[in-house]
Amino acid sequence: MTAITTSVFELFKIGPGPSSSHTIGPMKAGYNFHLAVADLSFEEQPDNIEIRLYGSLSATGEGHGTDRAVVAGLLGFKPENVECEFLDSLADGTSRQFESGRISLGLSVKDVVFAEVENDFPYANTLLLRLRKGEEILFEQEYYSIGGGFIKWKGQPAEIPRVPPYQYSNMDELKAILSDEGLRMHQAILANETAISGISEDEIYEKLDAILDAMKQAVRNGLTAEGILPGPIGLHRKAKRLFENSSQPNCADSFLLRLNAYGFAASEENAAGHIVVTAPTSGSAGVIPAAVYALEEELGIERERVREGMLIAAALGFIAKHNASIAGAEVGCQGEVGVASAMAAGLIAYANGHRFWRTENAAESALEHHLGLTCDPVGGYVQIPCIERNAMGVVRAYNSYLIASVENEEFHKVSFDEVVKAMAETGKDMNAKYKETSLGGLAVSVPNC
């Protein structure tokens, strides 16, 4: 299998919620199209853009705000620089002016077609963007939103290979490198990142700090917000209440309540379409931020150690993505909250100073107990079960860390690679109803949403 060349900053991205595959990916596709047409010229001016969404982008795109995201991208916005208020303002269908090169035409979310859910494209979540004059297609691009805000497109030129110094495709290979080279894991990932992203170690830590600060800000914002989340479900925010209850006198559950509150907080911010960090996706954007917040604010772990733990979390996410998937549309929620929980467990263990084998065991255990988890968001909104599930994900991560921290190395029976393989197989066997289409599970058993 090919070596992993994903950057830490492809996995952790700051952007608007509520679903990286439904918001960040489509916005990047729209932005790519905006750039792609800039140098084109036509005898007759195009007068409309056809936007067709397939797979779960069609099934749940409306609830996830995919229409606003792709239109914002077409208008020249990127996930990291778009204002939530601007995205909200697109929802009413007001026409905006698309300007790129010599092309100028009106565009609104009403141009978005929610097309077939079942399809034969190479990836279920496909966007077809077409520049047209009346019915005539002048130019088209086929984009795939492949999870976690990553995109590909048909005919995409092969990337210039990025050659990291430590080449691995799974955990066993990475461990062999660490053992041969006498390295700690974060050192290998850091060296790889400098080669992959072409920036210095200091710049990597600066960017990691921005990611960590954005994660903590999302938690802080969620802890003070009140009211009802957007959409027809009418779901009340809960983070603030959980946090306040944790300070009741003689509360034996205060840490657990606060850990839950942190998970709810960032996840509720995501559901509100506010700025979060994909970790590894937006739907699971509450788990790692909750762990980071707890490590720094509750346990007093230094930033240096948390940065190192984030590099380990990234490596765990890379391996899951490379050998299975981190997309709910591909493998269900085991790939989103399950992988986030594994990444968080590894982060907590490593930041607490545990050696790598305990870190791996914590991550393995967290993912093992999410195997088979389906993705069935009620009404297509990343709210039920997603918000509570993020809180469960961080609690399970902490629990996995606690169990792993007293384990004996030779007694542990399941490796991280084995559980990732099980996730991939389970995902393949999972019915499409349970892969972010809202056609099964809770999405159909919960009425009136």
Stretch in the footprint of ligand SF4 (CB under 6 A) among 182-190, 210-218, 291-299, 375-383: 375-383
Stretch in the footprint of ligand SF4 (CB under 6 A) among 41-49, 167-175, 250-258, 380-388: 380-388
Site for ligand SF4 in 384-403 (CB under 6 A): 385-386, 389
Per DSSP, helices labelled H in 405-445 are 416-429, 442-445
Q: Output 164 or 338, the one with its CB closest to ligand SF4.
A: 338
Identify the residue among 233, 242, 375, 404 touching ligand SF4 (CB under 6 A).
Answer: 375
Q: How far is the CB of 390 from ligand SF4 (least distance, A)?
A: 7
Indicate whether 67 belongs to the interface with ligand SF4 (CB under 6 A).
no
Indicate whether 368 belongs to the interface with ligand SF4 (CB under 6 A).
no
Site for ligand SF4 in 225-244 (CB under 6 A): none
Q: How far is the CB of 371 from ligand SF4 (least distance, A)?
A: 14
Identify the residue among 128, 337, 345, 351 touching ligand SF4 (CB under 6 A).
Answer: 337
Phi, psi for 97 (deg, rounded to 5): -95, 120
Indicate whether 328 belongs to the interface with ligand SF4 (CB under 6 A).
yes
Distance CA(60)–CA(118), nearest Å, equals 13
- Helix (H) / strand (E) containing 275: strand 275-277
- Helix (H) / strand (E) containing 11: helix 8-11
Q: How is residue 76 annotated by DSSP?
A: T
Q: Are 308 and 350 in contact (CB under 8 A)?
A: yes
Stretch in the footprint of ligand SF4 (CB under 6 A) among 193-201, 221-229, 302-310, 377-385: 377-385
Phi, psi for 116 (deg, rounded to 5): -65, 140
Site for ligand SF4 in 17-46 (CB under 6 A): 19
Indicate whether 65 belongs to the interface with ligand SF4 (CB under 6 A).
no
Indicate whether 377 belongs to the interface with ligand SF4 (CB under 6 A).
yes
Indicate whether 286 belongs to the interface with ligand SF4 (CB under 6 A).
no
Identify the residue among 62, 193, 268, 336 touching ligand SF4 (CB under 6 A).
Answer: 336
Taking each helix axis from N to C end, the angle separating 254-271 and 386-404, rounded to the nearest 10 degrees, works out to: 140
Six-digit token string for 281: 């996706």
CA 189 to chain centre: 20
213: phi > 0 → left, psi -120 to 50 → alpha, else beta; which? alpha
Q: How far is the CB of 336 from ligand SF4 (least distance, A)?
A: 4
Distance CA(251)–CA(94), nearest Å, equals 51
Distance CA(262)–CA(240), nearest Å, equals 9
Identify the residue among 66, 100, 278, 284 touching ligand SF4 (CB under 6 A).
Answer: 284
Six-digit token string for 446: 């919960």
CA atoms within 13 A on the CB side of 333: 29
Query: How many other C-beta atoms can be found within 10 angstroms of the C-beta atom of residue 119?
Result: 14
Q: How far is the CB of 322 from ligand SF4 (least distance, A)?
A: 19
Q: Return residues touching ligand SF4 (CB under 6 A).
A: 19, 283-284, 328, 333, 336-337, 375, 377, 382, 385-386, 389, 436
